[in-house]
């Protein structure tokens, strides 16, 4: 096992180390968004030393999947087994192979991109259930790692299986993208040292996706990197969008319709609004698509403060997808130096302000740490009040409702300098606070809070803000719970 450190995955390493010390069979489920580094994590931890390793092939039929299986098995056993007729026969051969291995040491079996093995009418899941339940789960030295980017498949068929694999997983590893702290550490490891402001802009384009961050060239400036990767034809991430969705989702067209609709709405859409925007019927298929997008990390479910839980709002949460629809989609012939020349582009400023809110939502632990409430149970939401003929509407970007009877009403501002609260903005903040109190009837103390890039410029209006959070705070390493 490699002792080499891996950025941002210390918790996962510790859990895998416990598996190695276990005296029982371990079924490890590893899932997360495509390109997030699942295979790299497993290969790095086990130093690519497996008793057996198999990866599914995207879009290929049963006979190709079984051919690859037997090729790997024959290579390991130095045998010449024929291609099995089905997965039941394949897992029987795998069982015979495991029985021949020494039972005095750990045997690690890694099935990568497992969802791709489950082709139509292949009965892959049933065969795997039989293999694990009838024999594998009693093999105390066996570690079986099931990994896949099609997160919804992993959740439905392995992690939350309601049949023979119900509650069989002994370890679940959901790999999240890097946070800002980990992203900075990763960039430094590549010889890239940018300001925190630049790293945030990079994050708002790529998210904390290691595969995307690896494409950055340390010899280029940030803006030239973005031009090279996204706006130069046939470049590294030129055709990433279609490849990403087509490899993850069957009938990717409807998935793309939904994320495109969400990309145009800052506050997100309700289910009924999604139906109206896309024309997709309100049925079980829509529910499946929304669940799959959520499981895979492309959308998040949000709640308007005080709203019933069944009236949720769906928001686009994948940075790359949002960037694609804002600046690449349906823009043929765009200047290959677009990003370098868009420093003061109004659409870029608008995108930056909206996307910085997403960054804040993805760093709630850091925000709570700055507020000194890491251990306080809190609910996160937004708040919006529609205007009427006699009264203006109001909106609050982020509401942190704390169990200690305090609510932080957070305004989020993305600025290149200290943010100045003017007389008019001061009045707007006060009106928002009072509108929130009146509309929600809350008895909690309300703390106006500002989340900005460089803080608030001190003046006669800045004292209304109870707490400030800056980029420096978002880059902190979050406390482990």
DSSP characters over 369-420: HHHT-TTS-EEEEEEEE---SSS--EEEEEEEEETTSEEEEEEEE--SSPBP
**DSSP characters for 117-180?**
G--TT--HHHHHHHHHHHTGGG-TTEEEEEEES-HHHHIIIIIT-SSTTTT--SEEEEEPPP-H
| 299 in Cβ contact with 316 (< 8 Å) | yes
| 434 in Cβ contact with 424 (< 8 Å) | no
Count of CB atoms situated within 10 Å of the CB of 59 = 10
In angstroms, the CA 135 to CA 289 distance is 35
Count of CB atoms situated within 10 Å of the CB of 437 = 15
Q: 50: which strand partners?
A: none
Domain spans in the chain, listed from the N-terminal domain onward: 10-175, 178-362, 364-474
* pLDDT tens, N- to C-terminus, the chain (481 residues): 444 568 999 999 999 999 999 999 999 999 999 999 999 999 999 998 999 999 999 999 999 999 999 999 999 999 999 999 999 999 999 999 999 999 999 999 999 999 999 999 999 999 999 999 999 999 999 999 999 988 888 988 888 777 888 889 999 999 999 999 999 999 999 999 999 999 999 999 999 999 999 999 999 999 999 999 999 887 778 789 988 998 888 889 999 999 999 998 878 899 999 999 999 999 999 999 999 999 889 999 988 887 766 678 999 999 999 999 999 998 766 788 999 988 778 889 999 999 999 999 999 999 999 999 999 999 999 998 888 877 888 999 999 999 999 999 999 999 999 999 999 999 999 999 999 999 999 999 999 999 999 999 999 999 999 999 999 999 998 765 4
Sign of CA dihedral 186, 192, 195, 198: negative
The distance between the two most distant Cα atoms of the chain, rounded to a whole number of Å, is: 82
In angstroms, the CA 276 to CA 308 distance is 21
Residue 469 is encoded by which pair of tokens? 């959070």
In the prediction, which pLDDT does 3 show?
44
What residue ranges in 279-405 does DSSP mark as E strands? 299-302, 313-316, 378-385, 394-402
In angstroms, the CA 142 to CA 199 distance is 42
Measured in degrees and rounded to the nearest 5, phi and psi for residue 297 equal 85, 15
Nearest partner of 233 among 352, 338, 343, 351, judged by Cα: 338
CATH number assigned to the domain covering 364-474: 3.40.1350.10
| 386 in Cβ contact with 364 (< 8 Å) | no
- Residue reference for tokens 């002994």: 170
Options 3.40.50.1980, 3.30.413.10, 3.20.20.10, 3.40.50.300; CATH for 10-175 is: 3.40.50.300
In the prediction, which pLDDT does 2 show?
43
Helix (H) or strand (E) holding 228: helix 222-230
In angstroms, the CA 331 to CA 293 distance is 25
Residue 226 is encoded by which pair of tokens? 């973005």
| 190 in Cβ contact with 216 (< 8 Å) | yes
Nearest partner of 412 among 363, 446, 345, judged by Cα: 363
In the prediction, which pLDDT does 404 show?
95
- DSSP category for residue 84: P
In angstroms, the CA 148 to CA 15 distance is 18
In the prediction, which pLDDT does 478 show?
78
Composition of the chain by helix, strand, coil, percent to 5: 45, 15, 40
In the prediction, which pLDDT does 308 show?
63
Burial of 280 (0-12, 13-18, 19+ CB in 10 A): middle
In the prediction, which pLDDT does 6 show?
81
In the prediction, which pLDDT does 333 show?
67
The pairs formed by 195-201 with CB atoms below 8 angstroms and a separation of 24 or more are 196/471, 196/472, 196/475, 197/416, 197/453, 197/471, 198/222, 199/475, 200/356, 200/359, 200/453, 200/471, 200/474, 201/352
Q: At what angle do helices 87-99 and 124-134 cross, to 10 degrees?
A: 30
């Amino acid at each position: 096992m490699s002792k080499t450190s891996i950025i941002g995955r210390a918790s996962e390493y510790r859990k895998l180390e416990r598996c190695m010390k276990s005296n029982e069979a371990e079924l490890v489920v590893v899932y997360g968004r495509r390109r997030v580094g699942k295979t790299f994590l497993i290969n790095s931890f086990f130093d690519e030393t497996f008793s057996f390793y198999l990866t599914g092939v995207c879009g290929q039929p049963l006979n190709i999947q079984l051919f690859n299986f037997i090729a790997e098995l024959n290579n390991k056993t130095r045998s010449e087994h024929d291609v099995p007729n089905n997965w039941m026969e394949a897992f029987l051969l795998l069982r015979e192979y495991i029985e021949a291995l020494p039972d005095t040491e750990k045997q690690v079996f890694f099935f990568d991109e497992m969802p791709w093995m489950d082709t139509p009418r292949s009965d892959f899941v049933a065969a795997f259930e039989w293999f694990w339940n009838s024999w594998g789960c009693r093999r105390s030295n066996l570690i079986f790692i099931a990994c896949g980017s099609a997160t919804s498949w992993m959740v439905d068929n392995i992690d939350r299986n309601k049949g023979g694999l119900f509650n069989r997983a002994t370890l679940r590893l959901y790999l999240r993208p890097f946070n800002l702290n980990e992203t900075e550490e990763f960039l430094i490891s590549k010889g890239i040292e940018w300001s925190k402001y630049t790293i945030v802009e990079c994050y708002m384009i790529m998210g904390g996706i290691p595969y995307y961050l690896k494409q950055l060239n340390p010899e280029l400036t940030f803006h030239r990197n973005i031009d090279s990767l996204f706006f130069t034809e046939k470049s590294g991430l030129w055709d990433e969008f279609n490849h990403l969705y087509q490899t993850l989702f069957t009938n990717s067209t409807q998935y793309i319709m939904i994320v495109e609709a969400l990309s145009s709405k800052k506050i997100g859409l309700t289910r009924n609004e999604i139906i109206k925007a896309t024309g997709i019927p309100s049925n079980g298929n829509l529910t499946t698509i929304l669940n799959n997008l959520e499981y895979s990390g492309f959308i998040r479910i949000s709640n308007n403060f005080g709203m019933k839980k069944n009236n949720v709002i769906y928001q686009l949460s994948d940075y790359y997808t949002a960037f694609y629809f804002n600046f690449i989609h349906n823009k043929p012939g765009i200047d290959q130096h677009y990003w370098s020349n868009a420093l003061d582009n109004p659409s870029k400023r608008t995108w930056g302000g909206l996307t910085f809110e997403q960054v804040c939502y993805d760093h709630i632990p850091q925000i709570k740490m700055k507020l000194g409430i890491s251990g306080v149970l809190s609910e996160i939401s937004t708040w919006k009040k529609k205007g009427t003929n006699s009264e203006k509407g109001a909106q609050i970007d982020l509401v942190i409702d704390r169990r200690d009877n305090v609510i932080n009403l957070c305004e989020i501002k993305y600025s290149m300098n200290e943010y100045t609260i003017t007389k008019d903005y001061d009045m707007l903040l006060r009106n928002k606070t009072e509108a929130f109190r009146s509309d929600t009837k809350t008895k909690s103390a309300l703390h106006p809070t500002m989340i900005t890039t460089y803080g608030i410029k001190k003046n006669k209006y800045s004292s209304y803000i109870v707490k400030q959070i800056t980029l420096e705070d978002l880059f902190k390493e979050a406390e482990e719970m």
